[in-house]
Each structure stands twice: as C-alpha cells, then as structure tokens.
Structure 1
Amino acid sequence: MTYLLLIIGFALLIKGADWFVDGSSSIARLLRISPIMIGLTIVAFGTGAPEATVSIIAALEGSPEVTLANVVGSNILNISLIVGVTALISPLKVESSTIRKEIPFTFLAGIVLLVLISDIYLQYADANIITRSDGLIFLMFFSIFMYYIFEAARKSRDKTYEENVLLEKSEGTWGKNILLTVGGIVAIVAGGYFVVENSTSIALKFGMSETLVGLTIVAIGSSLPELVTSVVAAVKKQSEIALGNIVGSSIFNILFVLGASSLITPLEVNNKVFFDVYVMIGFTIILFIFAITKCRVSKLEGIALTLTYVAYLIYIVVRN
C-alpha cells in the first residue's frame, strides 16, 4: 500500500503541475499579461511547485533532511540529467542572457547555500543549521531575481514564447481555468503529502537515510514535470526555451523553496549533503562551460552530463 500511495503521490504532483500551468497560463492570457512574462514566471513556478510542496511539507512533518536533500538533488538532476537528455534529443540553444545572467545567478545561489550551511566552519557553531534568518536571506536574493525577471520581461520584445509548448492551449472560459488552477494546487499539495509520508516510511523500512531518499526518490519524482516539459520542447524543436526554464527552476528551488521552508522551521544539515552541494555547484560550472561553446549544449555534451549523473547516483547509493 505504501508503494501504491507513493506512485499516486508522484502522479498527483505531475498532473497537478500540468493543470496549474495550463489554468494559470490561460488566466494570464485572458488578463493580457505578456507571453514572455508567463513563460518566465508562471510556467517556471508551476513546474517547480512539486519541489516546493514536497520540501515545505517535509519541513512541517519534521523531516528537514528530506527538505534540503530534495532541493539539492532536484537541482543536480535538473542541471545534469534533464539538460543531458534534452540535448540528446535536440542540441540545446542557449540564449545570451542565460549565459550572462541566469547561469551565473544559479552559481551564486549555490554559493549562498554553501555559505549559509557552513556554521561549524565559519562561525564555530555546534551544528550546521539553516535558520529563519538564513531563510530571509534566501528570500531577499529571490526578490532580486524576481526583479530581474520582471525587468527582462518588460523590456523584451521577443515573441517566441508564444510558440511555447506549454502555452499552446486555448484560453477557454474563466470558470474552467480557475478550476484547473485550484485543482492543480490541491493535487500538488496532496501529492506532496503522499510522497513525503510514504518515501520516509520506505526509507526507515530499508534502513535508508532521509538524505538519500531526498536526493534520489523524492528529487527524481518531484523533477518529473521539468523533465517532461524539456523533453516535449526538444521533440518540438523548441529546445532553446528548455534551458532557461531548467535554470530558472533551479534558482527557484534554492532561494524560494529553502527560504520558505526554513521560515517554517530551522533545517538541520546532514554533513553528507556538503558533498552534494559541491557536486551541484560543479555541475553549474560545467553547464556554463558547455553553454559558452558555440552558445549551445551539444549531443556529445548531453551524453557526458547524463553519464556523470548516473555515476553520481551510483556513488550516493553506495555511500548510504
């Protein structure tokens, strides 16, 4: 029954994110909000909603290791496996703003996380904890990122987002779109609860640590919306929009998800997660290097990212 509920939870997360994106995007169109604004905000937050919900529920349920591991694990998976698989389908075109601003901002978010969890090393504290004041720092950085997003959307005249695969749905009626949006939120919250409760139960049953479960089962499950979105975009030869969405989602995970979760309750840091944070930062640097070469991520580079993630996954399972 536990495994069935876990699968149901993942299904609710994925379908809920899909409903939320469709409904809220159509509402934004009915309100005549810029398509690029929709792509950079509503779509990014919609696909990031499962990670946010799972992490916040884990914090409320007293499983802080799942919260932090889910964020770090999801980001590693986003930047390596999802980018790699998408590039395998169709080489990823990289916008200049992504190279100059968004990937460096992702790197900055990773460094901020590393600094704020290093209490023992930097402050000679008794334990490493993401405190509520640390959460406020994350949210302040997130506010800066949001300001950049709104300014970029306001100034941009690029209409390519109108072809975004996520935004091709017809607007429909107000009632239908509100129902989709609310239903999506409800499904995401319910799915997040099922995933946290049952994955934690499985971890205890098999002697797995909460950190390992967060880095693997929960991270992979909650990142499925980003994977599906990116793969569909690549299949439809719109891969240039996939990388920006993935990078934006990674920034959202660190700055908003950890910020909101640590405001609910301070998050204790398992010392093993430091290695994973280093890996996350390392993948960000590798992605930047790949991106600046001919402004694209090639199929060969996609294979390298995918295989490196597989090697990392094997390592953390053995490490447990």
Structure 2
Amino acid sequence: MFLLGMAGGLALLILGAEILVRGGSALARRFNISELVVGLTIVAFGTSGPEMIVSVVSAVQGSTSLAVSNVLGSNLFNLLVILGISSMLSPLGVDKNTVWKGIPFLLLTCAAVFLLAEPAAGCPDTIGALTRFDGYVLLCFFAIFLYYTFSIAKSSGELQETGKSPPEKMSGFLMSGFIAGGLVLLILGGRIFVASAVVLAKKLGMSESLVGLTVVAAGTSLPELASSLMAAYRGRIGMAVGNVVGSNIFNVFLVLGVSAAIRPAPLSPGDFLDNAAVALASLALFLFMFTGKKRSIDRWEGAVFVFAFAAYLWFKITSS
C-alpha cells in the first residue's frame, strides 16, 4: 500500500514536471525573458510548494524539528543529488549571474541560519533557535532576493539557451494551464509520496529529525528533481540550474522564514551540522565553476556531488 502510494506520487511528479517545464519555456519565449529568471521564480516557487506545506504544517502542529530538518535536508538533496544527477545526464552550463549573484545568495542563506540562531534557554537538546523576529528577517531577505531576480531580466548578460528543441509556442490560456496544472500535479504528487513514505519510515523506527532529513527532504525535493531532470533533458539548462538555486533560496528565506514566524524553531546540533554541509556544498558548487569547463557543472563533478551525498547520508544514519 505504501509502495503503491509512493509510485503514484512519483508518476504525478514526472507528469507535472514535463508540463511545467513546457509551460515555463513558453512563458520565457512569449515575454522575451531568460529561462533562468523563470526557473528562479515560477518553477522554483512551485517546486518549493511541498517544502512549504510540510514545514508550515509542522510549525503549526509544534513539530519544529521536522520543519527545520526538512528545509536543510531538501537544500542538501537539491544541491548534491539533483544538480549531480542532472549534470551527469547533460553537463550544465551556468549563467554568470548565477555564479556571481545566485550562488553567493545560497551562501548567504547558510550564514543567515548560523548568525540568526540565538541561544535557546531551557532547551538542553538545542544549541540555538530561530525566533519570530528572525523569521521576519529571513522574509526581508526573501524580498531582496526577489528584487535581485527581476533585475536579472534587465541585465544584458543573460544565458543564451542552446536547447535540443526550441521552446513551444502556446496561447496565453494554454500556457497558463500548463504552468498551473504542472504546479498542482507536482504538489499533489509530492504530498502523496511524502505521506506514504513518512508512515513507512516511522514503522521502521526512524526518528522525526532523521525522517525530516532523509525521507521527507527527498520526497519534498522530488518536484525539483523531476523538473531539473526534465529541463536538462530538454536542453533548458538555465531553468535546470535556476530551479535548484531558486528553490534553495526560497526554502530558507521564505519557507523557514514563515515557519519561524509562526512558531520559534529550535536548532539541534544535527541541524547545525546539516547547515554546514549545505554551506560546503554551495561553496563546492562555486569552485566547480572554475574547474574543467568554466561556468559549467561537468559529469565528473556531478558524480562527486552524488557520492558526497551518499557518504553524508551514511554518516547521519550510522551516527543517529
């Protein structure tokens, strides 16, 4: 029963990703904007929907450890697994705006979590907490990020797509239907998968924090995985990379910001370790821009990312 639910959710994710990428590509062509911008906004916001749902519901219900571990785990999965597998499928060229602005924003999200977390009095199992005020600060950073994103559309150095096929021409009604339908299928598929996987994981005796880092994080990241793989396959490289970068920034500044604003979120030592892992992965992504083919994630670099995630996951499971 659980496996059937996971399979059904995965099928909806794949279908939703195909529809969303087609609609996003058509939108980029219709309004003459970079697919990087579409990936950083519409696609990233849509594929961050599962993280938002899980984290907000967790905050409302008081399961703040699940909310935090979900965000950090999803970001690590996005960087190491999604970019890793996507670049192994097709080397990913990266726009200079992403290199010098997008990736530094990723590092800023990690620094914000470290710097904003305050000592949590009366909580012996935590070493810090994001207060409601911290949540508002993260939301302010999110507003700055949106301003930056739309400034990309006015820049002259946007990535020129060299896809395998030109973006499709669609009517406004059909294009809106593709984007909305793709987002609905992605979120629905993610919820079905997570609901089935969480019940299965708990039956296996996994802790809430470990469930958040592994099963929930991977499940809520499946929309990003499906969308990025589909975008890479179709040659929409700006959307593939922009989707991951945008989703990670959305997850911390928006999802974690809203969650902390609802209920202060204590951070355990494991959460700080996860945040450090995300920071190292973001730094590695930046360094990879200058190794091999410049401003590109090559196949071997993607393999390094996937191996690093497997090693870190093994460490977390064996040390829990």
Give TM class, smaller chain. 0.7 to 0.9
What is the one-letter code of the residue matched to 1:270?
S
Instruction: Please tell me whether the aligned partners of residues 28 and 38 of structure 2 are also in contact (alpha carbons under 8 angstroms).
Output: yes
SS in 1 for 2:268: coil
1:229 to 227, 230, 233: 227
**RMSD, matched Cα:** 3.1
Q: Shift in Å at residue 278 of structure 1? A: 1.0
Q: Shift in Å at residue 305 of structure 1? A: 1.2
Instruction: Please tell me whether the aligned partners of residues 10 and 222 of structure 1 are also in contact (alpha carbons under 8 angstroms).
Output: no
Alignment correspondent of 1:207: 205
Aligned counterparts of 1:116 and 1:10: Cα–Cα separation in 2: 36
Alignment correspondent of 1:171: 170
Alignment correspondent of 1:271: 269
Distance 1:171 1:154, change over 3 A: same
Q: Shift in Å at residue 167 of structure 1? A: 9.3
Q: Shift in Å at residue 70 of structure 1? A: 1.3
SS in 2 for 1:283: helix
What is the one-letter code of the residue matched to 1:105?
F
Q: Is 87-96 or 275-284 further displaced after alignment?
A: 87-96
Tell me how many residue pairs correspond in the alignment: 314
Instruction: Please tell me whether the aligned partners of residues 79 and 282 of structure 2 are also in contact (alpha carbons under 8 angstroms).
Output: yes
Alignment correspondent of 2:237: 239
Alignment correspondent of 2:117: 117
Q: How far does the alpha carbon of each residue in 1:117-166 deviate from its partner, in whole angstroms, 9 at most, with x for none? A: 3425xxx67453222111101111111111111111123474736x7799
- Give structure 1 stretches of 5+ with no counterpart: none
Aligned counterparts of 2:223 and 2:165: Cα–Cα separation in 1: 11
Instruction: Please tell me whether the aligned partners of residues 43 and 166 of structure 1 are also in contact (alpha carbons under 8 angstroms).
Output: no
Aligned counterparts of 1:5 and 1:283: Cα–Cα separation in 2: 32
Alignment correspondent of 1:297: 297
Alignment correspondent of 2:89: 89
Aligned counterparts of 1:115 and 1:264: Cα–Cα separation in 2: 20
1:311 aligns with 2:315: no
Instruction: Please tell me whether the aligned partners of residues 72 and 280 of structure 1 are also in contact (alpha carbons under 8 angstroms).
Output: yes
Q: How far does the alpha carbon of each residue in 1:232-274 deviate from its partner, in whole angstroms, 9 at most, with x for none? A: 3333444354223311221111111101122222223233221
1:77 aligns with 2:43: no
Aligned counterparts of 2:165 and 2:235: Cα–Cα separation in 1: 13
SS in 1 for 2:154: helix
Instruction: List aligned pairs for 1:245-256, cutoff 5 A.
Output: 245-256=243-254
1:102 aligns with 2:106: no
Distance 1:165 1:273, change over 3 A: farther
Instruction: Please tell me whether the aligned partners of residues 119 and 125 of structure 1 are also in contact (alpha carbons under 8 angstroms).
Output: no
